[in-house]
C-alpha cells in the first residue's frame, strides 16, 4: 500500500516555509488573491493554510475544470462560498468558458478596495491580483489564457521587480505572471486518494492498481451507474474493488498468459478513462 506522504516528498517543511515566505512577499504587491481549485474536489484541492497566509486579503475562488464536474454540485459550491462571503465562479481554463464573469467577480470581491481608492482620489487605480493553488489545478492555463488575451503591462512601478511581470486581465485588472504553488493537505489519506483519482499525483510514485481499486470502491458506492454504463458490468455493488477491476479486465479481454486477467492494464484503463471524463461529469465532494 503506497504511503501518500511519500508522493509529496518534495514538500518538505523547509520548502513549505520558503513557499510561504515567497507568497507573503508577493502579497505585498497585490490587492487580492485568486485561488484556483479543482471543481471536482474543491476542498481537497485547496491549501489548508491559505487563509492564514493571505490573512485579510480579499480572495476569489476559481472552480476550474468545471467541464469535468457535475454542474449542480458546482452551483452548490458557489453558494457555499457566497455564504462565507467569498466570490467563486465556475470556469474552464482550457476553453475559456466562464471567464467572462471574471471581471465582475474581481470588482465584487474588491468593492471595499475600490471604494477606498475612490476616497483617496485614486479612482480607477488598477486592481492587482496574484494566482495561487496546489499543483495541476490550472494556474498556468489561467494565466496563459489571460496573458494571451491581454497585453503585458510595462512594469515600471515601485515594488515591481524585473522577475515580476504584470498582465492586464481585464479593464483595470492586473495579474502577477508567476503563480504561488501551494502544497495540498497531504497528510490526509482521503485527500491523497482524490488527488490521485483526478491525476494530480504522478502515477510513477503511486501504485495504479491501488488507485483504480480505491476509485472503483468510491464509484461503486456513490455512482454505480457510471461503472455499469461504461464497463457494461452488473451486480458488482457487493463485490470487493479488486473483484470489480477483474470483472472490467475480463469484459475488456485484458488477459495475460494462462488466461489470467491483466489487472494492471485494466487499472490503467479505468484511471485514464476516469481522468479523461469518459465516465461522465463527476464531483467527488459536496460542500
- The binding site for ligand G4P (CB under 6 A) comprises 64-65, 67-68, 92-94, 133, 135-141
- 32 vs 138 by CB, closer to ligand G4P: 138
- 114 vs 182 by CB, closer to ligand G4P: 182
d(CA 22, CA 4): 26
Residue showing cell 481554463? 93
- 92 vs 246 by CB, closer to ligand G4P: 92
Minimum CB separation from ligand G4P for residue 260, in Å?
Answer: 32
Residue showing cell 480572495? 59
d(CA 261, CA 252): 10
Phi/psi class of residue 70: alpha, beta or left (left: φ > 0; alpha: ψ in -120 to 50)?
A: beta
- 93 vs 269 by CB, closer to ligand G4P: 93
Q: Residues 230, 234, 235, 241: is their CA dihedral positive or negative?
A: negative
Minimum CB separation from ligand G4P for residue 186, in Å?
Answer: 16
In sequence order, the β-bridge partners of residue 60 are 34, 87
Contact (CB, 8 A) for 29 and 128 = yes
Minimum CB separation from ligand G4P for residue 24, in Å?
Answer: 20
d(CA 10, CA 54): 23
Minimum CB separation from ligand G4P for residue 73, in Å?
Answer: 16
Minimum CB separation from ligand G4P for residue 22, in Å?
Answer: 16
- 35 vs 262 by CB, closer to ligand G4P: 35
Amino acid at each position: 500500500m503506497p504511503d501518500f506522504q511519500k508522493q509529496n516528498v518534495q514538500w518538505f517543511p523547509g520548502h513549505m516555509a520558503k513557499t510561504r515566505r515567497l507568497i507573503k512577499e508577493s502579497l505585498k504587491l497585490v490587492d487580492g488573491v485568486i485561488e484556483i481549485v479543482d471543481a471536482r474536489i474543491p476542498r481537497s484541492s485547496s491549501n489548508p493554510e491559505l487563509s492564514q497566509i493571505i490573512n485579510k486579503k480579499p480572495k476569489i475562488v476559481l472552480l476550474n475544470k468545471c467541464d469535468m464536474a457535475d454542474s449542480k454540485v458546482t452551483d452548490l459550491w458557489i453558494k457555499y462560498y457566497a455564504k462565507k462571503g467569498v466570490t467563486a465562479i465556475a470556469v474552464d481554463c482550457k476553453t475559456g468558458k466562464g471567464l467572462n464573469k471574471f471581471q465582475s467577480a474581481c470588482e465584487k470581491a474588491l468593492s471595499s478596495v475600490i471604494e477606498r481608492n475612490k476616497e483617496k482620489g485614486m479612482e480607477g487605480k488598477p486592481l492587482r491580483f496574484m494566482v495561487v493553488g496546489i499543483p495541476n489545478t490550472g494556474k498556468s492555463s489561467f494565466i496563459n489564457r489571460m496573458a494571451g488575451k491581454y497585453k503585458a503591462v510595462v512594469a515600471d512601478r515601485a515594488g515591481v521587480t524585473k522577475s515580476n511581470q504584470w498582465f492586464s486581465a481585464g479593464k483595470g485588472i492586473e495579474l502577477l505572471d508567476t503563480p504561488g504553488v501551494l502544497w495540498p493537505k497531504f497528510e490526509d489519506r482521503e485527500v491523497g486518494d482524490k488527488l490521485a483519482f483526478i491525476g494530480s499525483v504522478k502515477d510513477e510514485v503511486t501504485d495504479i492498481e491501488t488507485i483504480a481499486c480505491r476509485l472503483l470502491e468510491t464509484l461503486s458506492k456513490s455512482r454505480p451507474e457510471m461503472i455499469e454504463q461504461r464497463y457494461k458490468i452488473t451486480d458488482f455493488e457487493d463485490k470487493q474493488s479488486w473483484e470489480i477491476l477483474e470483472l472490467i479486465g475480463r469484459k475488456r479481454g485484458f488477459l495475460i498468459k494462462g488466461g489470467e486477467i491483466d489487472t494492471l492494464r485494466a487499472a490503467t484503463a479505468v484511471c485514464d478513462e476516469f481522468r479523461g471524463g469518459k465516465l461522465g461529469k463527476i464531483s467527488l465532494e459536496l460542500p
